[in-house]
């Protein structure tokens, strides 16, 4: 059996990716944005470009927040089954990534303690209004990985605690689901 310290490099990479759960690094079709690069829209920003209604925008944000709530609940005790809402609010790469993270946590005896602070807003929408881009500043100051057996921190040294996350939320089969997220590692918030 490998000691907890031998897993530190693996966990450092994983913990660095906590806000990446379900994320992709590859290119995506860009959605029109309502803000210029380098700025972070606020919840009070003007409506995004595209053709989403305020109701659709609210539904997309609710799905995004449901996705995060399910991740938080699942990662608090990865030895239990994933929160059922994870599959309700995530699909594709986002769901696969979240499930992979849970498996790795389970295998290495790591759980997340506390909760992150989210600040999501819709920054763009597809012309048909069936896809939106959500920009978020995920603050994990009070959401930390620990080794369950010892209670010791599993956080990678020097890890930024506030990162910009850009997610795609799509209308699929009559419901909004998060399909991908990308953490902008070079842009803290």
Alpha helices in the chain (DSSP H): 8-16, 54-76, 85-89, 92-108
Inter-residue contact 34 to 105 (CB < 8 Å): no
The four Cα atoms 177, 56, 117, 16 give a dihedral, to 10 degrees, of 40
Q: What is the pLDDT of residue 22?
A: 36
pLDDT (average), residues 34-38:
30
Q: Which helix (H) or strand (E) holds 165?
A: strand 162-172
Give the pLDDT confidence score for residue 87 in this predicted structure: 95
Higher pLDDT, 188 or 90: 90
Quick: pLDDT tens for 99-142: 999 999 999 999 999 999 999 999 999 988 899 999 999 999 99
What is the rounded end-to-end Cα distance, in angstroms, of the chain? 39
Mean pLDDT of all residues belonging to the chain:
79
Rounded to whole angstroms, how far apart are CA atoms 70 and 143? 14
Give the predicted TM-score (pTM) of the model. 0.77
Upper half-sphere CA count for residue 108 (Cβ side, 13 Å):
27
Could you read off the pLDDT of 142-162 as tens digits, one per residue?
999 999 999 999 998 888 899
Residue scoring higher pLDDT (9 or 156): 156
**What are the percentages of helix, strand and coil residues in the chain, rounded to 5?**
30, 30, 40
Q: Label the pairing between strands 110-114 and 143-147.
A: antiparallel
Q: What's the confidence (pLDDT) of residue 34?
A: 31
Asked if pLDDT for residue 47 goes beyond 70, the answer is no
CATH number of 8-188: 3.10.450.50
Q: How far apart are CA 117 and CA 154, in angstroms?
A: 20
Q: What is the mean pLDDT of residues 39-68?
A: 71
Report the distance separating Cα 70 and Cα 75, nearest Å: 8
Looking at residues 13-21, what average pLDDT do you find? 42
Residue 38 has pLDDT above 90, yes or no: no
pLDDT greater at residue 153 or residue 43: 153
Query: For a pLDDT cut of 90, what percent of the chain falls above it?
Result: 61
The Cα angle at residue 170 between residues 106 and 104, in degrees rounded to 5: 10
pLDDT value for 9: 40
């Amino acid at each position: 059996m490998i000691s907890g310290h031998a897993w530190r490099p693996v966990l450092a990479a994983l913990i660095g990716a906590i806000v990446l759960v379900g994320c992709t690094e590859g290119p995506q079709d860009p959605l029109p944005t309502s803000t210029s690069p380098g700025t972070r829209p606020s919840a009070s920003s003007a409506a995004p470009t595209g053709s989403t209604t305020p109701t659709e925008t609210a539904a997309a944000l609710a799905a995004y927040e449901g996705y995060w709530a399910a991740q938080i609940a699942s990662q608090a005790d990865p030895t239990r089954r994933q929160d059922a809402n994870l599959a309700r609010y995530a699909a594709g790469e986002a769901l696969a990534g979240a499930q992979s993270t849970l498996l790795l946590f389970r295998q290495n005896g790591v759980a997340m303690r506390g909760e992150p602070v989210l600040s999501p807003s819709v920054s763009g929408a597809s012309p048909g209004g069936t896809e939106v881009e959500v920009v978020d500043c995920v603050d994990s100051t009070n959401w930390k990985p620990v080794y369950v057996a010892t209670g010791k921190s599993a956080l990678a040294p020097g890890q930024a605690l506030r990162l910009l996350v850009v997610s795609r939320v799509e209308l699929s089969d009559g419901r909004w689901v998060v399909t991908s997220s990308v953490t902008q590692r070079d842009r803290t918030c």
